[in-house]
Amino acid sequence: MNLSAPPPHLDRLLQPATAHPRAWDLLRSLCDDVGARFPCTEGDVAAVAWAQEALGLAGLERVHAEPAEATLWHRGAESCSLLLPRQQSVALTALGGSVGTPEGGIEAEVIEFASLEALDAARPEEVAGKVVYLHHVMPRMRDGTGYNAASAVRMRGPSHAARKGALACLVRSVGTDSWRAAHTGALWYHAGAPQIPAAALAIPDAELLHRALAEGKRVRTVLALGCSPMPVGMSANVLGDIPGTDLGGEIVLLGAHLDSWDLGTGALDDGAGCAIAIEAARRIASLPARPRRTVRVVLFANEELGSGGGRAYASAHAAEAGRHVAALEADQGDGKPWALRVPAAMRESALARALHASLAPLGIELDPGVSRGGVDLAPLGHLGVPFVDLRQDVTRYFDFHHTANDVLDNVSRVEIEEATMAFSVAVWLLANAEESFSGVNQGEGTATRADIAAR
C-alpha cells in the first residue's frame, strides 16, 4: 500500500453505523445474555461460548479457545460500620484477592494516612492493632492518568499496613464518582508481609470517615469480610483470525479482555472493548479485499485478577511473536479515542504519519508519549511486539469502573461506535501498509498493572 495515498476502502470504515449500531448490540447481548464474567464461574463459561459464536458470525476464521490459568477468589458477605460515636453502616466492597476477617469480624480503631509514604514513615506502635485507612483522592482526567497513583495505593496499601501491624486496611475507592457504590479492584500481597483483610469504601462514606478523623474524633470500625482466595483454576482466551493474503504471515493483533468483576455486568470494563474488537474485525472482514497481514482478535481471560490470559497467549504464541508487527488493546470503556501513540522510535516514520492522517478525520491527534499497550499485551511487549495505542476519553469511565454500576445503561451508543470506527481504521492500515513497526524494542514501554493508565 502506498502510504502517500489514502488507504483503499478507508471511506467505508469511516462511515458511522448509525442505522445498525452493531457494537452496542454486541455489548447488549454480552451484558444481558451472559452477565458478569468472573473467572471460572458460570458466567465465564458462557462468555467463552458467546465469544466464539460472535467471532464466527463476524466472519473470522480459525475461531477457537485456548486454555489460560485463572486466579480464583470468592467474595462472600461483606459489611462495615463506623462508630462516630454512633454506629453508622457504610458501603464497601472487598478488594479482589483479599483474605477474609476472622469469624465475628474485626472491631478496632481507625488510623488514616494520606499516602503510602506517610504510612511507611509511621511508627509501628502507632499502627499496630488498628485498621489503616488510606485517603487518596483520584482526580477526574480525560487521559485517566490519575489512576496510576490511586491504583498503586489500592494494590500495595494492604501489605504496607500489614508490615506495621495493622489488622485490616481500608482505602478510598479508586473512582471519580460521588455515589455509594464502592469500587473493587485487585490487590497485591507482598511476599513476607502478613496477609490482612482489605476493602474499598464508597466515596461518600470514605469522605465521612475522613471528616471525622480530621475533626480529631477517635473512630472505631466493625468490619466483616467473608472473602477468601481459592486454588488456581482454568479459563480460556478466545481467538479468531482474518487471514492475510501475503507479507509472510505477519499479524496485527487487536485485543480486549472477556472477564469482568462480579459486581456489575462488565459493560465498560471490558465488555465495550470486546464489542469494539469484534465489530472492528467484522467491518474489516466485510470489505471487498482481504487485508495483506492477518488480523487477529484475542479476547483475553482473567485480566482483572492475575492477567492469566495475557501470559497464556504470550507463552502459547512465543514462537510467532516476531510475526506480530503491531498489537492494540481496547480496554478503556466506550470512550471516543482522542490520541494515537506509536513506538517512540517510529514517531516520525511514514507509517506513523499515515496512521495519523487516516485517523485525523475522527479528531485523533498524534500523542508524543510512548505507546504502552495494556495489561493483556504486556507479556508480548517483553517478547518485542510493538504496540499502537488509541487513547480513549475516560472522563466518565472511572465513575463506573469496578462497581455495581458498570452496566449497559451507562454505555454511550454514539461513543462506542466512534471507538469502533477508530480501531477498525487503525487495524486496517496496519494490516496493509508495506512498512511496519516490527523490530522496535517495545519492552521498555510495556505497561504494568500499576501504571496502565499512562498508556
Catalytic residues: 303
Number of Cβ within 10 Å of residue 138's Cβ equals 23
Report H helices in 245-292. 272-285
SS (H, E, C) 34-51: HCCCCCCCHHHHHHHHHH
**Is 76 in contact with 197 (CB distance < 8 Å)?**
no
Q: Which residues pair with 319 in a beta bridge?
A: none
Residue 226 cell numbers, joined: 467473608
SS3 content of the chain, % helix, strand, coil (to 5): 35, 20, 40
Helix (H, G, I), strand (E, B) or coil at 125: helix
Q: Phi/psi of residue 241, each to 5°?
A: -120, 150
Buried b / exposed e across 31-47, counting CB within 10 Å, b at 16+? beebbbbbbbbebbeeb
Q: Name the residue type at position 199.
A: A
Residue 186 cell numbers, joined: 485487585
Helix (H) or strand (E) holding 169: strand 168-172
**Is 254 in contact with 239 (CB distance < 8 Å)?**
no
Q: Which residues pair with 298 in a beta bridge?
A: 239, 255
Q: What pairing do the DSSP bridges indicate for beta strands 220-225 and 78-83?
A: antiparallel
Residue 377 cell numbers, joined: 499485551
Q: Name the residue type at position 118.
A: A
Maximum pairwise Cα distance, the chain = 72
Helix (H) or strand (E) holding 24: helix 22-29
Residue 124 cell numbers, joined: 509501628
Nearest to 323 by CA among 347, 295, 285: 295
**Is 150 in contact with 138 (CB distance < 8 Å)?**
yes
